[in-house]
Structure 1
Amino acid sequence: MQDLLYNIKQCTICNDYLPLGPRPVVSAHPNSKIVIIGQAPGTKVYASGIPWDDASGKQLRNWLNVSPETFYNSEKFAIIPMGFCYPGKGKSGDLPPRQECAPQWHKSLFENMSNVELVLLIGMYAQKYYLGKESKKTLTDTVANFQEYLPKYLPLPHPSPRNRFWLIKNPWFEVEVLPKLRERTKRIISIT
């Protein structure tokens, strides 16, 4: 795993398309129990090199009901984005994650983690990639039908503050999904 993580951090396959240059952000351990697959790092995470080191990460830790110390314990949580580097700015937020990363690295990462019990698919890109034809037409429908993907996957919306309107429009998320997410997270990371 150490060699694989080193190779990922040296990756430059998208170099020509990255406005700030490559700086892959990933965290994993052979004993990781929960894998968080998000989109791609934003500018704050690009600057710090620490995954989910922003307002979205704070919200995600709140959803999971875990401390930063627990969240950043790679034996508990692996953090593997769809795109490992900041993709650049788009018209309404960041550009989509680069498409080269997941096919290049995800399979090898999963092959090096034999204790994974749950994969959190955050956002449409992760859900489409991992659920394929099993994903629903919209992110909202996929998340609403989260029970269909358990026990392996749990689809989530992005915890960005920009998604506050989605959360207001979909109060069932906090009532139905978050308790299940917290219960499973607590059970899985409590097992040593």
Structure 2
Amino acid sequence: MREPSFEHPSRCPRGTSLEALAAEARGCRLCIDHPDRGRPLGHWPRPVFQVSATARICIAGQAPGIRAHASGIPFSDPSGQRLRQWLAIDETAFYDASRVAILPMGFCFPGLDAHGGDLPPRPECARSWHRQMLAAMPEVKLLLLVGGHAQRWHLRRLQVPKARAGIGVDETVRQWRALYDDDTLQPTCMPLPHPSWRNSGWLKRNPWFELELLPVLRARVARLIV
């Protein structure tokens, strides 16, 4: 039997609580019933995210991978292990929604491309949910922009000029200090490469990431995670 379709969240009244938004988002079927660009998701949706009105850190990632899709737990894979190492926090803190929100650009695993890599995040999620959810998390002080999709969407949302935001992940991450120190950006933004094993070569070629960026990131996270 086909599950009932999900109506567009624009019907949610302004000021809807984060709990109500999250409950509706977890039942979202937009990419099946009303897909952008004409192509529905190739499998049944399973939104995976973590939000709280008290979270002080928000991780804006790409989309759940196949392991997170199976487990229903964000970053439940080697990428998550590396990300937690970057942040210098354990799983208990990472999965404490009262302190850390995880709001990927796509809530569901997008499927695989012809080469076995993950497809881009579905566009329906950001269009339909992100602004409302971010507005309902007023305590967020640090926004981690993980990967190109998150960086482009959020820096455009925050009206950061392209000349300052950078073109592509490499250039944007290299300009991390200018973005991090920009007092006009609220919350504070920190661009990061995706923690996938596919980026191990980039990390080896760019030792400044570990020597310069990570100490600043870890110190800020330690202050906010208490």
Instruction: Give the TM-score normalised by structure 1.
Output: 0.95
Higher mean C-alpha displacement, 18-27 vs 79-88? 18-27
Structure 1 residues 90 and 2, CA, compared in 2 at 3 Å: closer, same or farther?
same
Displacement, 1:90? 1.3
Whether 1:13 aligns to 2:37 is no
Q: Which residue of 2 aligns with 1:71?
A: 94
Is the 8 Å Cα contact of residues 28 and 74 (structure 1) preserved in structure 2?
yes
Q: Which residue of 2 aligns with 1:2?
A: 19
Looking at structure 1, the residues matched to 40 and 191 of structure 2 have their Cα atoms a distance apart, in angstroms, of 28
Whether 1:165 aligns to 2:201 is yes
Is the 8 Å Cα contact of residues 18 and 86 (structure 1) preserved in structure 2?
no
Residue segments in structure 1 that go unaligned for 5+ positions in a row: none
Q: Which residue of 2 aligns with 1:47?
A: 70
Greater relative contact order, per chain length (Cα 8 Å cut-off, separation 6+): 1
Is the 8 Å Cα contact of residues 35 and 120 (structure 1) preserved in structure 2?
yes
From 122, 137, 142, the counterpart of 2:167 = 137
Per-residue CA deviation, residues 155-192 of structure 1 (Å, 9 max, x unaligned), is 000001111011111111111111111011001112xx
Displacement, 1:20? 2.2
Q: Which residue of 1 aligns with 2:104?
A: 81
Higher mean C-alpha displacement, 87-96 vs 71-80? 87-96
Is the 8 Å Cα contact of residues 165 and 175 (structure 2) preserved in structure 1?
no
Q: Which residue of 1 aligns with 2:219?
A: 183
Is the 8 Å Cα contact of residues 36 and 80 (structure 1) preserved in structure 2?
yes
Q: How many residues align?
A: 190
Looking at structure 2, the residues matched to 164 and 186 of structure 1 have their Cα atoms a distance apart, in angstroms, of 25
Residue segments in structure 2 that go unaligned for 5+ positions in a row: 1-17, 33-38, 157-161, 182-187
Amino acid at match of 1:127: Q
Is the 8 Å Cα contact of residues 38 and 122 (structure 1) preserved in structure 2?
yes
1:20-59 to 2 correspondence within 5 Å? 20-59=43-82
Higher mean C-alpha displacement, 15-24 vs 59-68? 15-24
Whether 1:147 aligns to 2:177 is yes
Looking at structure 2, the residues matched to 45 and 19 of structure 1 have their Cα atoms a distance apart, in angstroms, of 17
Displacement, 1:2? 1.4
Instruction: Give the TM-score normalised by structure 2.
Output: 0.81
Could you tell me the percent identity over the aligned residues?
A: 44
Q: Which residue of 1 aligns with 2:121?
A: 97
